[in-house]
Amino acid sequence: MSAASPPFITPEALLAHWQGHRRLTRRVISAFPDDKLFTFSVGGMRTFGALAMEMITMAVPMVRGAVSGEWNTSGSRDPRPKEEVLRLWDEGTAQLNALWPQIPVGRFLETLTAFGQYTDALHNLILYVIDNEIHHRGQGYVYLRALGIEPPAFYDRS
Amino acid sequence: MSAASPPFITPEALLAHWQGHRRLTRRVISAFPDDKLFTFSVGGMRTFGALAMEMITMAVPMVRGAVSGEWNTSGSRDPRPKEEVLRLWDEGTAQLNALWPQIPVGRFLETLTAFGQYTDALHNLILYVIDNEIHHRGQGYVYLRALGIEPPAFYDRS
């Protein structure tokens, strides 16, 4: 790193930012009635349960791959009770905290091929996972409003 | 920067990432029929036109404030023709490219108070603006689907 190229954000701060988003996404999952999570959607789109399972099967596998070079996307996206989705979510949160510090120094700026097909700088691959979570969570806000349920505040990441 | 604290991403790469998102958001604005942009929504939420105007009144003012310390949120969010929204969008895109390199070295890691009320590290303040764009654009995808219009591909940032 030269003095002319300071960071936008450090790895530690980016993980804290992501975990703030994950706390909000967890609240959005929680806000769905159990019988709507895998049944309700708008405009023929996927259910929020299906989107949450997509997030779960992307987050830890991406970071584990960044650590180990092994890219596994195992994990079913099938419907299941909300409590089970939340349990998997919390498992992922703990795994991210454990895996993140194991990403080798400097790797975020390197170009990798994730899951055998997505080639980009690691920071872009990880931002894609976070952005995908924000994008689909935004859809979840519309589903909740359409169900007459007030979504959690977007700015609250506590 | 010590060797133990390498960047997650550099300022230049973060701007490129943001501008990729902005190209996608522009396509989402474009995809709305002119007579729906400020009239249609789902679940009593704001229209996508109102959300796009919010994005416009956040992006450049945040970066200009980061450069100058002057926090102005002027700019009306009133309804207007789609072509006018797109013109303002493109103006903002050029202004961001011009302002970004003027942000002083190291400032992204400093804590600022934006618009007299939001105190956080500058990287978090800027990520909030980007995340807000992604969040509301996700809502726009639902509106388009509800209108029977296929949204642009999320992964295409070209």
Q: What is the pLDDT of residues B11-30, one digit of tens each?
A: 999 999 999 999 999 999 99
Size of the A and B interface in Cβ pairs below 8 Å: 146
Mapped onto helix, strand or coil, the DSSP state of residue B3 is coil
Q: What is the 3-state secondary structure (H, E, C) of chain A?
A: CCCCCCCCECHHHHHHHHHHHHHHHHHHHHHCCCCCCCCCCCCCCCCHHHHHHHHHHHHHHHHHHHHHCCCCCCCCCCCCCHHHHHHHHHHHHHHHHHHHHHCCCCHHHCEEEECCCEEEEHHHHHHHHHHHHHHHHHHHHHHHHHCCCCCCCCCCCC
In this complex, the residue of A5, A108, A141 whose CB is nearest that of residue B8 is A108
Smallest Cα distance from A78 to chain B, Å: 22
Joined together, the tokens standing for residue A20 give 């703030």
Q: Which residues contact B53 (CB under 8 A, 6 or more apart)?
A: B75, B76, B77, B78, B85
**Is residue B61 a contact partner of residue B71, using CB atoms and an 8 Å limit?**
yes
* B chain contacts of residue A135, beta-carbon cutoff 8 Å: 134-135, 137-138, 141, 154
Query: What ipTM goes with this model?
Result: 0.96
Give CA–CA dist A147/B87, Å, rounded: 35
pLDDT tens digit string along A24-70? 999 999 999 999 999 999 999 999 999 999 999 999 999 999 999 99
For chain B positions 12-31, those within 8 Å of chain A (CB to CB) are: 12-14, 17, 21
In this complex, the residue of A5, A145, A155 whose CB is nearest that of residue B45 is A145
The CA-CA-CA angle for residues B39, B58, B56, to 5°, reads 45
Name the pTM for this structure. 0.96
Residue A2: the pLDDT is 44
**Is residue A154 a contact partner of residue B135, using CB atoms and an 8 Å limit?**
yes
**Is residue A10 a contact partner of residue A108, using CB atoms and an 8 Å limit?**
no
pLDDT tens digit string along A97-143? 999 999 998 999 999 999 999 999 999 999 999 999 999 999 999 99
Mean model confidence pLDDT for chain B? 95
* B chain contacts of residue A11, beta-carbon cutoff 8 Å: 5-8
Give CA–CA dist A101/B8, Å, rounded: 12
Task: Give the DSSP letter of residue B75.
Answer: -
* A chain contacts of residue B154, beta-carbon cutoff 8 Å: 132, 135
**Is residue B98 a contact partner of residue B90, using CB atoms and an 8 Å limit?**
no
Residue A72: the pLDDT is 87
Closest C-alpha to A96, from A53, A139, A130, A49: A130
* B chain contacts of residue A128, beta-carbon cutoff 8 Å: 155
Helices (H), chain B: 11-31, 48-68, 82-99, 122-146
pLDDT tens digit string along B118-156? 999 999 999 999 999 999 999 999 999 999 999 999 999
